[in-house]
Amino acid sequence: MEGGEAHGSSNSLNPGEGVAVSEEIKAQVMESVIGCLKLNDEQKQILSGTTNLAKDFNLDSLDFVDLIMSLEERFSLEISDEDAQKLETVDDICRYIASKSSDA
């Protein structure tokens, strides 16, 4: 398993892991990312589900907060700070939103 740091939590799964994601959710997330981060054409070309937003686009904490707020508004949900810290890629965000949408 690829992974990184171990956290003290007994639940090591990322929020939404294993949840099916609709194309509509993915398209809306991509649109939010492009708009919030003001991606140029070159950046849009490399944007994919596995893009690590912080590393690949030098996302700082203020940009990240703007993105989270945009997603909360767009999808009418609240993303906890704890969950937000686990959302590193577009796919992470999509799975999280899909899991929250299916909970509703």
The residue extents of the domains of the chain are: 23-103
Q: Which residue has the higher pLDDT, 15 or 73?
A: 73
Task: Return mean pLDDT, the chain.
Answer: 85
Alpha-carbon 67 to chain mean position:
9
Q: Is 56 a catalytic residue?
A: no
Please, which pLDDT band fits residue 46 given cuts at 50, 70 and 90?
very high
H-helix or E-strand containing 66?
Answer: helix 61-75
Question: Could you tell me the CA-to-CA distances from 11 to 6, 34, 73 in Å, in that order?
Answer: 11, 31, 27
Residue 11 has pLDDT above 50, yes or no: no
Report the CATH superfamily, name and number, of domain 23-103.
ACP-like (1.10.1200.10)
Give 38's DSSP letter.
T
Strand partners, 52: 89
Residue 57 has pLDDT above 50, yes or no: yes
Which of these is catalytic: 56, 60, 83, 91? 60
